[in-house]
Amino acid sequence: MGESNAVTRPEFTDVPLPDEPARAEARRRHATLIKPVASLGRLEELGAWIAACQGVCPPRPFARPRVVIFAGDHGVAAKGVSAYPVETTAQLVNALLKGQGVPNALASVAGAGVRVLDLAVDAGTSAEEFKVRRGSGSIDHEDALTEAEVEAALRAGVEIANSEIDSGADLLVAGDLGVGVTTPASVLVAALTGTEPVAVVGRGSGIDDNTWMRKTAAIRDALRRARAVLADPVALLRASAGADLAAMAGFLAQAAVRRTPVLLDGLPSAAAALVADELAPNARSWWVASHRSAEPAHDLALDHLDLVPVVDLGIRLGEGAGALTALPILMMSARLLTDVASYVDAGVHPPA
C-alpha cells in the first residue's frame, strides 16, 4: 500500500510566476490615465497584479469568477470547540444548495458563480461528488485522515480546480464550511508560523470563554502532533487538517500551476494556502488576500505569506463571504486599466 500511495501523491512542480513585463506595463499605463499619478492607491497595484496573472495589459475584465465552497466536519468539534452542533454543517450545505446562504446573496451582487462540495460532512448530502469520508479524526489525539484519504483529498482539489478552469473560470475563490473548521486551521497556522496556541485562538463561530478554553486546549494538543510532521506538508495535512482543508490546499496549488488568480477568503483558506505554498513554491504569487478576518491566526497567516488584505470589515464568517465582498473591488481595478482614457486619447492636458 505504501508504494501505491507514493505513486498517487499529487505533484505540484514548475509553478510559473506571473508576467512581470505585463505588470510593469500596467503601472506605466496608469501613469498615462486622466488622473493624478498613483492617485488610486491599492487599486492600481491590484490591476497590475491582474495584468501580470493574465500576461496582458490592459487586462481582460473577469468573465467567470467562481467560488468553490469546501464543506467538511471535524472530529475535534466533539470536544466542544464551537458554538454550533455538528449537524449544522449538513444543514448549511443544503441551505447553500438551495441558494439561501450568505455566499449566494453576495455572489448575486458580485456576479460570481457558487459551487458547494461535500468533502467530509458527517452526514449524507446531495453534494458528494468528491466526498472522501465522513468527518475526520479528532486531531488533538489522532490523525485527521489516513495516508490514502489525504492523497484522495489533494487529488480532489486538483480535479476541482481543473474542472473549473477548463469550464472557463478566470478567477477562483476557495471558501470553507464546517463546524469547528477554525480549530484545525489554527493548528496549521500555528505549526507553520511557529506560534504558540494561545496566540492563534479566536472566537470562531462566536464562542464564549469556556468554549475558548476548550478550543485552546485542543489546539495545544493537536499542535504537539503537528510539529512532529512539520517537514512534510502532506503529512501535516494528514495529521492536522481534514479532507476539506486538504482538498482546498490542492485546489490552491493547482490554480497556481494553471496560471489562474485566486482571491483568498478567511482563516481556513489562508491556512490551506500556507500548506499549498509549501507544496507548490511560487503559488502565493497567484493569490490576493480579500480581507482581514477577526481571527488572530488569519493575520499570522497573511503576514507569513506577505499578503495584504483588500478590505478589513471584521468579517468572521467563511463560506467565501469576505472574498465575495472584495471581488467587486478587484473587478474595478481591472476596469480602470481597460476603460479609463489616457490624457492623449481624451484630449486632456497632462499635469505640468
Q: What is the DSSP string of 85-144?
A: -TTHHHHHHHHHHTT-SHHHHHHHHHT-EEEEEEEE-SS--S--TT---SS---TTTS-S
Annotation says 319 is catalytic: yes
pLDDT(1) > 80: no
> Does residue 279 form part of some domain?
yes
**149, 151, 164, 319: the active-site residue:** 319
CATH number of the domain bearing residue 228 = 3.40.50.10210
> Does residue 126 form part of some domain?
yes
> Does residue 230 form part of some domain?
yes
How far is C-alpha 95 from the geometric centre of its chain's CA atoms? 21
> Does residue 40 form part of some domain?
no
> Does residue 44 form part of some domain?
no
Mean pLDDT of the chain: 94
Q: Tell me: the pLDDT tens digits for 63-95?
A: 999 999 999 999 999 998 888 888 999 999 999
Q: Read out DSSP for 189-206?
A: HHHHHT--GGGT---TTT
Q: Tell me: the pLDDT tens digits for 218-263?
A: 999 999 999 999 999 999 999 999 999 999 999 999 999 999 999 9
Q: How many domains does the chain have?
A: 1
- Give the pLDDT score at 8: 66
Q: What is the pLDDT averaged over residues 174-200?
A: 95
Q: What is the pLDDT averaged over residues 93-106?
A: 98
> Does residue 50 form part of some domain?
no
> Does residue 174 form part of some domain?
yes
What single-letter amino acid sits at 113?
G
Residue-range definition of the domain harbouring residue 289:
65-328
> Does residue 12 form part of some domain?
no
Cβ-contact 188, 245 below 8 angstroms? yes
Nearest Cα neighbor of 256 from 150, 157, 115, 185 is: 157
pLDDT(41) > 90: yes
Q: What is the pLDDT averaged over residues 98-125?
A: 97
Name the band, by pLDDT with cuts 50, 70 and 90, for residue 34: very high
pLDDT(207) > 90: no
